[in-house]
């Protein structure tokens, strides 16, 4: 999964999703959720991979915004929106408004020493 910057205007993927049956309002809601904090994690409360990623961020001292899709209203619609954006698994992580991916991408970044600089650039971590 490649990193995707979601800018102020709807990207092609967001426009495609907005055209689906769930509509513009849900796409806009997800977009706003992504931009509200430097690190946003969409997960499910029972998912061990989601727990692992959240623990990694906590170990860094990062306080991500976490949306447990099995516990919030319209969580299923949000999960479908993320799928259209290319996130077929949970957790789905955005850093600085950028779609980073799931647990595999986060762990890969960590192993390659790329996660910390990304968190610093997003303003989620201070050194």
Q: To the nearest whole number, what is the mean pLDDT of the chain?
A: 85
List C-alpha distances in Å: 97 to 18, 70, 71: 18, 22, 23
List the one residue out of 19, 127, 111 whose CA is nearest residue 10. Answer: 19
**What SS3 class is residue 2?**
coil
Say if CB 71 and CB 45 are below 8 A apart: yes
pLDDT of residue 29: 83
pLDDT of residue 25: 75
Residue 86 corresponds to which tokens in the numbers above? 């290319």
Say if CB 93 and CB 102 are below 8 A apart: yes
pLDDT band for position 13 (cuts 50, 70, 90): low
List the one residue out of 99, 111, 103 whose CA is nearest residue 44. Answer: 103
Q: Sheet with 4-5: list strands edge to edge.
A: 4-5, 98-101, 92-95, 39-43, 65-68
| Domain boundaries 24-122, CATH class | alpha beta
| For the chain, domain boundaries | 24-122
In this model, does residue 44 exceed pLDDT 50?
A: yes
Separation between Cα atoms, residue 17 and residue 27, nearest integer Å: 7
Is the model's pTM score more than 0.85? no
In this model, does residue 98 exceed pLDDT 60?
A: yes
In this model, does residue 5 exceed pLDDT 80?
A: no
What percentage of residues in the chain have a pLDDT greater than 70? 81
């Amino acid at each position: 999964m490649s990193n995707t910057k979601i800018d102020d205007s709807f990207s092609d993927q967001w426009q495609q999703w907005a055209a689906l049956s769930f509509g513009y309002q849900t796409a806009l809601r997800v977009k706003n959720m992504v931009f509200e904090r430097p690190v946003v994690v969409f997960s499910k409360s029972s998912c061990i991979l989601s727990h692992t990623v959240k623990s990694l961020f906590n170990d860094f001292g990062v306080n991500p915004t976490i949306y447990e899709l099995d516990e919030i209203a319209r969580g299923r619609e949000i999960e479908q929106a993320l799928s259209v954006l290319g996130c077929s698994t949970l957790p789905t992580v955005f850093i600085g408004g950028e779609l980073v991916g799931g647990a595999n991408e986060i762990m890969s970044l960590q192993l390659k020493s790329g996660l910390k600089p990304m968190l610093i650039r997003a303003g989620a971590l201070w050194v």
